[in-house]
Amino acid sequence: MLQNIKQFYGIKLGAIDGPIGHVRDFYFDDKTWAVRYLVADTGTWLSDQQVLLTPHAFGAHAFGRFEAGTDTLHVDLTRKQIEESPSIETHRPVSRQYEEEYYRYYGWQGYWQGGGMWSGVSFPEVSPFLPAENVPHHGRHQLDDLHLRSTKELVGYHIEATDGQIGAVTSFILDGSTWAIREFVIETGYWYAGKTILLLPDNIKRIDYEHSCIFVNLTKEDLKQTTRNDVAQAAALSH
């Protein structure tokens, strides 16, 4: 199921035994385009602390599990488990050391253990944690930069086609089963009558975080010729 990610900002979060706060942000890997963590704002419950919740904590079809009439996204964890999980406040930015501590705490196999987007499978699946000496290596050292970025951070980034600026990022379309970002939602400027279009991650050449700009491998004419169906799709998903 494809979902516009911005509809989840502010949504309430519920543990097995009670409320835990609301959705503040998402962290995604800008190399695989997988959302690795949901950032939960716990409010006064944990003294205004933010905690990370991996997709594994939500089970299958997470984004279809809203409690009727309450707009609550449910987590398959207890409040005590979340309260005692490793604190992210002392581990900014997110490091592999923190991730290992986090996954070891819950007893889950890390997504980097086994290759692929989610440890050898195409969706987040809870498997036993592997000790470091048993982790297969797949080209990336365990201490390398994790490329984790905030979805909120990228909102407003300018999009540069090969022949000029075409608009700015307003949101992302997320696959609720795999937690993968499928499209960037772009609001165009005057050159395309302010229409909304979708861009695939494959269209991204590079992201300049210093200057808040994303470069794509398409021309303006490419976009006019290939995104007419996507314009309607994006408009429908944004409501």
Contacts of 50 (CB under 8 A, 6+ apart): 24, 39, 40, 41, 42, 88, 89
88 and 135 in one domain?
Answer: yes
- pLDDT number for residue 45: 84
137 and 195 in one domain?
Answer: no
130 and 25 in one domain?
Answer: yes
Last residue of a domain, one of 148, 180, 208: 148
Q: Domain total for the chain? A: 2
Last residue of a domain, one of 96, 125, 148: 148
Structure tokens at 180: 């993968």
Q: Are strands 204-208 and 35-41 parallel, antiparallel or unpaired?
A: unpaired
Last residue of a domain, one of 130, 148, 166: 148
- pLDDT number for residue 237: 44
175 and 129 in one domain?
Answer: no
- pLDDT number for residue 161: 92
Residue segments in the chain with a per-residue pLDDT below the cut of 70 = 48, 60-70, 89-92, 120, 122, 126-146, 226-239
Contacts of 186 (CB under 8 A, 6+ apart): 159, 166, 167, 168, 169, 170, 196, 197, 198, 199
- pLDDT number for residue 231: 42
> Three-state SS for 192?
helix
- pLDDT number for residue 138: 41
- pLDDT number for residue 232: 33
Indicate which CATH number applies to the domain containing 179: 2.30.30.240
71 and 164 in one domain?
Answer: no
- Give tens-digit pLDDT for 154-174: 999 999 999 999 999 999 999
Structural domain harbouring 132: 2-148
112 and 74 in one domain?
Answer: yes
201 and 129 in one domain?
Answer: no
pTM above 0.85, yes or no: no
* Residue 35 near residue 55, CB atoms below 8 Å: yes
